[in-house]
Chain A
Amino acid sequence: MHPVFTNRAVAFVYLGVWTGLAVALSSLIRELSALSWGQALFLAGALCVLLGFMCMTPWYTCRTLPFSLTAGRKIAWNHGAAAIIATAIWVACARGLAREMGVNLRASVPILIALGLLLYYLSVAIHYAYFAVESSRQAALEARDAELRALKAQINPHFLFNSLNSIAALTVSDGRRAREMCIRLSEFLRNTLGLGERENIAWKEELDLVRAYLDVEKVRFGSRLEVEMNVADACSECQVPPLVLQPLIENAVKHGIATLVEGGKIRVDGEVKDGLLRVRVENKFDPDSPTPRRHGLGLRNVRTRLETRFGPSASVTARKDENSFGVEMVFPCHKTE
């Protein structure tokens, strides 16, 4: 279906443009013939309705001949032929209708032909432009979907294999801790893998996931990793996109704690204020340590996801100074959908 019939705004614009053209055409007709204003307006109106419909046909021809995939010659031939046929029909109708009204438009045929061809070609161009915009918007949407799916499915292989290695080490020296670590790792994996289908989770679920993740990392990093959480209970039921906090915590470990010889503390603050959930993650890092690859990917993903979901009411700000890094995200707290 042509967007003129499905989209009210497009229909409005289209109608407006053709009304303007009808007025212009009627004044042209008055110049070329002895018709009164009323007659000229009637004739021009009828002709514009006709041409207005004809100028929608490129919707089909342009779609079957995509601009980027079709040879230039084929495009020129097809649209050229269509333009000539449409213009011929239109001019014939114009002359017939004028004759019924007792006027001969023969002298103005060249002008009408030029007008018909011009408007038809213009319409072809506009349709191609419309399709181009549409397809790039579609591509952007698909890319974002793919990114989201990939993000949900991702479990950092470094994290996984290093954790398994810690378990291997503990089995002989401290079997009980090895078992605990297995359980915490399983909880984290099970929760993460179960997220694929879900649009939203409660904030407390996200927090549980992060706690399981941090417990595993605490075994790996030992006394180097310290965590301080100050999250208000009021946040618990806020509905959030899954894995909105975990990537930031993972960054804090990877780019922060892992770079520090003596280790350090990750601080998480959370509160609800005026219907907004406000979460801060802070950590120290060593500016003299080498920067791991893929820097900032997790942060960018979180930002894109929050912006897609909540629009301008969401914000993610990062602040980096000499040796500390902080991220603050703010977004609306919707409770249960």
Chain B
Amino acid sequence: MSQDGVKAIRAVLVDDEDLARQLLREYLEAEPGVEVVAECANGFEAVKAIGELKPDLIFLDVQMPKLDGFEVLELMDSSSNVIFVTAYDQYAMKAFDAHAIDYLLKPFATGRLKTALERARQRLAQHATAPPPAELSAAARPPGHTLDRVVVKDGTKVHIIPIDKLDYVEAQDDYIGLRSEKKLYLKQQTISSIETQLDSKKFIRVHRSYILNLERIARIEPFTKDSRVAVLQDGTQIPVSRAGHVRLKELLGEVG
């Protein structure tokens, strides 16, 4: 377990290919002070294992069944340290440079893995706080790519909200509330960060604390002298700021 009195790094390997996991395991077995506590072959398993085992370090593949690497990242409670392992992803690399501990491009040499582990050890020793996982994930996605679904965790269950089922997003302190099919799901992410991930032709920031699905709007009504409310098809009222109203008008033409 421990080497020279130093606590071993507890690592989880996430990759849908057996051989890829086998290679990484083989490399890590030769590394002192690293213990592989779980191996996962798909996104659901990964979320579950990470939630239960709270590992220090996660080796995360990007393309997987059920949930991809970015989605797994969004669903982690703790900011475990992540090393992305991918075959080829020219966009994500830039973001990894800035946020993740490291990224490994398959196939990689043991020397490259040692460097990544060294960085992880430093990060762990400093107890440095990684950015919230959802923020990291938002930064790691390729530019110009809008979400076609949002993943949220409710206890141990994972919910997948297709983007056309999302009514609106509201800011709640460090969280956002996502409203879909009469239910509200909470997620640790800022409203500005999710705003950049949504298709700006379909979702509009109508207020500092609200992003609205355009298709849900029934009408816009005056509220006070300066402000308005958007009335949704189900009757819900969402405040619309003056700037939000300007944005709405730009997108829709004149709407009262």
A165/B23 in contact, CB under 8 A: yes
| B87 touching A162, Cβ below 8 Å | yes
A window 69-96: CB within 8 A of B: none
Looking at chain A's contact residues, the main secondary structure is helix
Tell me which of A53-61, A169-177, A313-321 binds B: A169-177
Q: Would you call B63 and A165 a contact (CB within 8 A)? A: no
A165 pairs with B88, CB closer than 8 A? no
Q: Which residues of A contact B87 (CB under 8 A)?
A: 157-158, 161-162, 165
Contact partners of A220 in chain B: CB under 8 A: 17, 19
B19 touches A166 (CB 8 A): yes
Q: Hey, what's the 0/1 contact readout for A201-229 against B, CB within 8 Å counting as 1?
A: 00000000000000000011110000000
Once the chains bind, are A219 and B19 in contact (CB under 8 Å)?
yes
CB distance from B174 to the nearest CB of A (A): 26
Residues of B within 8 A of A157 (CB): 87-88
Contact present for B19 and A165 (CB under 8 Å): yes
Cβ of B149 and Cβ of A290 under 8 Å apart?
yes
Query: Which B residues are CB-close (under 8 A) to A288?
Result: 66, 160
Does B107 contact A164, Cβ atoms closer than 8 Å? yes
Residue of A nearest to B20 (CB): A165
**Chain A: CB-nearest residue to B44:** A261
Is A20 engaged at the interface, CB distance under 8 Å to the other chain? no
Complex: A165 Cα to B17 Cα, angstroms: 10
Which of B17, B22, B148 is within 8 Å of A221, CB to CB?
B17
Q: How far is the CB of B87 from chain A (nearest CB, A)?
A: 4
Q: Is the CB of B18 within 8 A of A222?
A: yes
* Among B18, B19, B26, B68, contact of A290 (Cβ-Cβ < 8 Å): B68
- A258 an interface residue at 8 Å Cβ cutoff? yes
Partner among A166, A172, A259 whose Cβ is within 8 Å of the Cβ of B26: A172
Q: Taking the nearest CB of chain A, how far is it from the CB of B156, in angstroms? A: 17
Residues B65 and A258 in contact, CB atoms below 8 Å apart:
yes
Chain B 59-91 interface mask (CB, 8 Å, partner A; 1/0): 000010111100100000000000000011000
For window 235-293 of A, CB contacts with B under 8 Å fall at: 258-261, 286, 288-293
Q: Could you tell me the distance in whole angstroms from the C-beta of B95 to the nearest C-beta in chain A?
A: 15
Q: Which residue of A lies closest to B25 (CB)?
A: A169
| A168 interfacial contact with B, CB 8 Å | yes
Residues of B within 8 A of A170 (CB): 19
List of A residues within 8 angstroms of B148 by Cβ: 291
Closest CB in chain B relative to A38 CB, distance in Å: 66
- B14 CB to closest chain A CB, in angstroms? 13
Cβ A261 vs Cβ B107 within 8 A? no
Q: Once the chains bind, are B71 and A161 in contact (CB under 8 Å)?
A: no
Q: Is the CB of B65 within 8 A of A261?
A: yes
| Residue numbers in B under 8 Å from A162 (CB-CB) | 17, 20, 87, 106
The CA-CA distance from A159 to B107 in the complex, in Å, is 12
CB under 8 Å from chain B, chain A span 126-177: 157-158, 161-162, 164-170, 172-173
Interface flags for A286-322 (1: CB within 8 Å of B; 0: not) read 1011111100000000000000000000000000000
CA distance A29 to B41 in the complex (A): 91
Chain A residue nearest to B26 in the complex (CB): A172
On whether the beta carbons of A286 and B17 are closer than 8 Å, the reply is no
Residues in A neighbouring B221, C-beta threshold 8 A: none
Q: Is B145 an interface residue (CB 8 A)?
A: yes
- B235 within 8 Å of A (CB atoms): no
B213 lies within 8 A of chain A by Cβ: no
Contact pick for A161, options B42, B67, B105, B145, CB 8 Å: B105
Is B142 located at the chain interface by the 8 A CB criterion? yes
CB distance from A160 to the nearest CB of B (A): 8
Find A169's partner among B20, B63, B65, B88 (CB 8 Å cutoff). Answer: B20
CB pair A293–B105 under 8 Å, yes or no, is: no
Residues of A participating in the B interface, judged by any CB pair closer than 8 Å: 157-158, 161-162, 164-170, 172-173, 219-222, 258-261, 286, 288-293
**Given A166-B20, A169-B20, A289-B67, 17 other A-B contacts at CB below 8 A?**
A158-B88, A161-B106, A161-B107, A162-B20, A162-B87, A165-B23, A168-B107, A169-B23, A172-B26, A173-B26, A219-B19, A221-B17, A261-B41, A288-B160, A289-B66, A290-B149, A293-B142
Q: Considering the complex of A and B, which 9 residue pairs feature the smallest CB-CB distances, nearest first? A: A169-B23, A161-B87, A165-B106, A169-B19, A165-B107, A168-B107, A157-B88, A166-B19, A290-B68
9 contacts between A and B (CB under 8 A): A158-B63, A161-B106, A169-B20, A169-B22, A170-B19, A259-B65, A261-B41, A290-B71, A293-B145
